[in-house]
Chain A
């Protein structure tokens, strides 16, 4: 499928996205009543970040009630009314505005995205041993390098394990491209040593 077509479909899906959950079903684009809404969360690159996100939501995003975090899938469920919190926003603008709020209060270390559309079983997990992942902020740096690549659906980076992972759509990107991107930003891979 050409990438432009894919983009269009994804955009449409953003508006029509429906989150299926046992007993709780909601969609991003129906800002009628308070509902439980699930989003993909960027910046959840290591387990400790789950707690960071909780603290952030409590302290600076209280109007969006955080219900749960699914670290494995980098998703979070909120209880909020899009019509109330983002009055006048079109359905496709809701996530964008939510993302802006989250970025502003988190100094751009967290963000919100539409949920993944590709089934997880179609994605490929790539592991990347990294040299010199010194701290959580270095992990964020590596995570962002990887996650911003097209075809990367989810990523992690941990200085504790000196490792990054990428859950990718194998049709769009491969390990070599990720390694190249990392090298270009001065990150050394253990394999390259």
Chain B
């Protein structure tokens, strides 16, 4: 049980002084220390230090933490100084931290001198580090681990230059440890994973390999939003939209009035929806309405260019008038499932587009579509309004509308043929027609011909005559050449001849078994893509003859991978591999310039999204929906904007190298019109995020007060200072609170408006077991009570029971409100050290001043994320060096990232 200590002290000998102390019955610590000795392990490094420690505990700790008093559940008289078991080690580290921070002994008790405290802290620290070093001696700190789902998908995308390939949805979810899914502790592998990897590899190869001699014909298809295959035609029939020509009602299709239009089929046959009219919509997407442009359904996985023209207007019972401003449209990529009928197919966000009042705005986007993908449109900025069942329908409606004149889809777009994905596998070998009689005893390749699989898709595949495949005159010679290029790229390291030969042998075997060259190669490629060399990160040591002291250093290739999976969540590119091949990557200046290069690439957005998704829990943004009665103004567009704000803000911190205090306090915010309106900030128009300067009395801007964070830390109905406070403590300050005791009931929200959460918590804190922790957790939560569950600033709680009538404020006039205003919000509080704050601004000022704490937390998070393991006690000094070096250079976040990368933590296994 105490092997670690035995080892430590086997070289230093036992401390007899301490042993003798056991005879003094009043000293529980002495009893404790004596017990260690009896067990063969002693918890001190020197008699002098141990004596000091003993004296310190006797004077300041035992009184409250003995067997009878047991304050906070801690009985120091029975706690063994065993540092091998993680639980025990953790407890001692916590004791160390409380003493070091000055939290213990508590206020009102006799204070130790700084020298005494420092001596004890130093002594314990030495013990911990020695114990940890012994435990970890000779072992790599970062365990071998497989790629996460996102890493796997991105790696495949980059390896084959197919940037929109979707694979991760079909892979089992990753686990998470130390806050991130990149941790080796959480990334196990099972037969299910393997089966899915095989399927995924097959899918990738199907898409990557060209099966026709020429590129598919590039076609441009113009689609009306009213295409009958979508949903819009139906709602146009019933007054949730209108057809317009020259910004007036289409005379051939008047707006639906007293009755809906009769018989959609008759209208389709009469060409009502294909007469070139623009489509104006009053309704946004909901459970039964999904506007799709599904007359186009992608057949060839490839890039496509989308062009659309959008504008907005006000509809006044049959009359088109100028709109209220710039409206926003959300485009999404919809993957049709089954036979493609109906709505609610899985979709992913593509972009937001502006629709200015009465002026057409042309938009062009190039994006990747996979097979069966189509385009979805949502009139994002409109309130949920439907005339469908209302009397007189559109002719009685006055309100905003968004117009889509058309959508052009151009593609598939291939810059070369065969595409790069094919060349990655087969180089420049020719594509020829496979004529069976010319290849007796050879099985032809199995290709699934491209075809339109969805009946509503009007685009069709090119007719291809014959079966086309790669031809090799010297199959094994070509196989060797091709694999010699492919394997190092896929495995992110050099591949020895013997290793490559195993894959060539596979090709040889398949050829002997009667497969054609393409099939035989494909077999070998699939093997490679399912091999540990591809699926696992291999933190190989630098060189086999490296001195023992440096044996944990990463090789240049491993460093290249660590960098690219940090900033791109994907494999290293050619530049990184070249630097690794030249042994240059460890050079500090090279490393620095590479970090800058990687961060300036668009691929670094993957890091921004993946890191924030986990650090700030952005992945959980949709974990709950806001209560519709209490927060009727909440919409998917607002939620999208929340996420965009947090990402844009982090990007701004990186690009401008801003200090960590910006986590808490800022003089600017990243906003679009939707969020600016939500925050009560004037003068922001359009759907795109941009930097907006703020006056000093505005708390908005930093992560702390961003709507995304405020939503994630609420439950959709009410806020509580506890989860919000815990979030701030853990995620922003790096001081995770202890888990709540299992026997204490949680505080339940009161949406009737009778009691405030502060009143409920006050009762909760009467419980002494709760008070100590809540003294730390609650203050940030109290400050954030200034914001509701969707991040709106408030002075009173909303209620669906008691309360006063609520003013509409900035809520869209087309949204009905029924909530009331309940009790006044009290946002005052005081930090655990007693410093008071009266509002969130004062709280921000107090917390932002502790830049070292904020920077330390950031350093820890970035390190854990990038090296794939949790940090231990012995890493603290390294983290502090990173922080200290960063502070000396101004304390910027980008500087911090550079310092993390330059640190031993990053460059060792």
Q: Kindly list chain A residues whose C-beta atoms are within 8 Å of the C-beta of B255.
A: 134
Is B259 touching A185 in the complex (CB atoms < 8 A)?
no
Is A141 touching B260 in the complex (CB atoms < 8 A)?
no
Is B258 touching A135 in the complex (CB atoms < 8 A)?
no
Given contacts A132-B257, A132-B258, A134-B256, contact A185 B263 (CB under 8 A): yes
Of B265-273, B369-377, B418-426, B675-683, which stretch is located at the interface?
B265-273
From B257, B259, B269, contact of A109 by CB (8 A): B269
Is A144 touching B261 in the complex (CB atoms < 8 A)?
no
A186 contacts the other chain (CB 8 A): yes
A136 contacts the other chain (CB 8 A): yes
Q: Kindly list chain A residues whose C-beta atoms are within 8 Å of the C-beta of B267.
A: 135, 137-138, 141
B253 contacts the other chain (CB 8 A): yes
B262 contacts the other chain (CB 8 A): yes
Is B253 touching A137 in the complex (CB atoms < 8 A)?
yes
- Mask for A49-65, Cβ within 8 A of B = 1, else 0? 00000000000000000
Q: Kindly list chain A residues whose C-beta atoms are within 8 Å of the C-beta of B254.
A: 134-135
B252 contacts the other chain (CB 8 A): yes
Given contacts A140-B266, A144-B266, A187-B262, contact A134 B257 (CB under 8 A): yes
How far is the CB of B721 from the nearest CB of chain A, in Å?
A: 55
CA distance A135 to B271 in the complex (A): 12
Q: Which of A125-151 contact B (CB under 8 A)?
A: 131-138, 140-142, 144
Q: Kindly list chain A residues whose C-beta atoms are within 8 Å of the C-beta of B261.
A: 132, 134-135, 137-138
Of B262, B265, B272, the most chain A CB neighbours within 10 A belong to B262
Is B270 touching A109 in the complex (CB atoms < 8 A)?
yes
Which residue on B lies nearest to A135, using beta carbons? B253
From B262, B269, B272, contact of A185 by CB (8 A): B262
How far is the CB of B717 from the nearest CB of chain A, in Å?
A: 41
Is A134 touching B259 in the complex (CB atoms < 8 A)?
yes
Is B259 touching A141 in the complex (CB atoms < 8 A)?
no
Of A134, A140, A142, the most chain B CB neighbours within 10 A belong to A134
Q: Kindly list chain B residues whose C-beta atoms are within 8 Å of the C-beta of A138.
A: 261-263, 266-267
Which residue on B lies nearest to A107, using beta carbons? B269
Is A135 touching B259 in the complex (CB atoms < 8 A)?
no
Q: Kindly list chain A residues whose C-beta atoms are within 8 Å of the C-beta of B260.
A: 132, 186
A188 contacts the other chain (CB 8 A): yes
How far is the CB of B811 from the nearest CB of chain A, in Å?
A: 34
How far is the CB of B378 from the nearest CB of chain A, in Å?
A: 26
A108 contacts the other chain (CB 8 A): yes
Total contacting residues, chain B, CB less than 8 A: 20
Is B270 touching A136 in the complex (CB atoms < 8 A)?
yes
Main secondary structure of the interface of B (DSSP, over half): loop
Is A131 touching B258 in the complex (CB atoms < 8 A)?
yes
Size bracket of the A interface: 10 to 19
- Mask for B762-785, Cβ within 8 A of A = 1, else 0? 000000000000000000000000
How many A-B contacts are there with CB distance less than 8 Å?
Answer: 65
Q: Kindly list chain B residues whose C-beta atoms are within 8 Å of the C-beta of A135.
A: 252-254, 261, 267, 272
How far is the CB of A182 from the nearest CB of chain B, in Å?
A: 9
How far is the CB of B707 from the nearest CB of chain A, in Å?
A: 43
CA distance A109 to B261 in the complex (A): 17
Of B256, B259, B261, B270, the most chain A CB neighbours within 10 A belong to B270
CA distance A142 to B263 in the complex (A): 9
Q: Kindly list chain B residues whose C-beta atoms are within 8 Å of the C-beta of A140.
A: 263, 266, 269-270
Is A107 touching B259 in the complex (CB atoms < 8 A)?
no
- Mask for A145-186, Cβ within 8 A of B = 1, else 0? 000000000000000000000000000000000000000011
CA distance A142 to B259 in the complex (A): 13
Q: Which of B148-199 contact A (CB under 8 A)?
A: none
Is B262 touching A141 in the complex (CB atoms < 8 A)?
yes
From A107, A132, A185, A187, contact of B271 by CB (8 A): A107
Is A141 touching B266 in the complex (CB atoms < 8 A)?
yes
CA distance A74 to B267 in the complex (A): 22
Is B270 touching A137 in the complex (CB atoms < 8 A)?
yes
CA distance A134 to B257 in the complex (A): 8
Of B257, B259, B271, the most chain A CB neighbours within 10 A belong to B259
CA distance A119 to B254 in the complex (A): 38
Q: Kindly list chain A residues whose C-beta atoms are within 8 Å of the C-beta of B257.
A: 132, 134
Is A141 touching B263 in the complex (CB atoms < 8 A)?
yes
Q: Kindly list chain B residues whose C-beta atoms are within 8 Å of the C-beta of A186.
A: 260, 262
Q: Which of A80-116 contact B (CB under 8 A)?
A: 107-109
Q: Kindly list chain B residues whose C-beta atoms are within 8 Å of the C-beta of A108.
A: 269
Which residue on B lies nearest to A193, using beta carbons? B258
Is A131 touching B269 in the complex (CB atoms < 8 A)?
no
Q: Kindly list chain B residues whose C-beta atoms are within 8 Å of the C-beta of A142.
A: 262
Is A137 touching B272 in the complex (CB atoms < 8 A)?
yes
Which residue on A lies nearest to B266, using beta carbons? A141
Q: Kindly list chain B residues whose C-beta atoms are within 8 Å of the C-beta of A136.
A: 252, 270
CA distance A138 to B259 in the complex (A): 11
- Mask for A18-30, Cβ within 8 A of B = 1, else 0? 0000000000000
From A132, A137, A144, contact of B259 by CB (8 A): A132
Q: Kindly list chain B residues whose C-beta atoms are within 8 Å of the C-beta of A131.
A: 258-259
Which residue on A lies nearest to B268, using beta carbons? A107
CA distance A138 to B272 in the complex (A): 10
Q: Kindly list chain A residues whose C-beta atoms are within 8 Å of the C-beta of B271.
A: 107
Q: Kindly list chain B residues whose C-beta atoms are within 8 Å of the C-beta of A144.
A: 263, 266
CA distance A6 to B255 in the complex (A): 45
How far is the CB of A7 from the nearest CB of chain B, in Å?
A: 28
Which residue on A lies nearest to B259, using beta carbons? A132
Of A131, A132, A186, A187, the most chain B CB neighbours within 10 A belong to A132
How far is the CB of A192 from the nearest CB of chain B, in Å?
A: 12
Which residue on B lies nearest to A186, using beta carbons? B262
CA distance A185 to B262 in the complex (A): 8
Q: Kindly list chain A residues whose C-beta atoms are within 8 Å of the C-beta of B253.
A: 134-135, 137
How far is the CB of A115 from the nearest CB of chain B, in Å?
A: 25
Q: Kindly list chain B residues whose C-beta atoms are within 8 Å of the C-beta of A188.
A: 259
How far is the CB of B175 from the nearest CB of chain A, in Å?
A: 55
CA distance A186 to B266 in the complex (A): 14
CA distance A144 to B260 in the complex (A): 17
CA distance A146 to B714 in the complex (A): 59
How far is the CB of A59 from the nearest CB of chain B, in Å?
A: 13
Pairs across A and B, CB under 8 Å, 8 listed: A108-B269, A133-B262, A134-B259, A137-B267, A137-B269, A140-B269, A140-B270, A187-B259
Given contacts A131-B258, A137-B270, 13 further A-B contacts (CB under 8 A): A107-B269, A109-B270, A132-B260, A132-B262, A134-B261, A135-B252, A135-B254, A137-B253, A138-B267, A140-B263, A140-B269, A140-B270, A141-B265
Interchain residue pairs A-B with the least CB separation, the first 8:
A132-B259, A141-B263, A141-B266, A137-B270, A137-B267, A107-B269, A141-B262, A138-B262
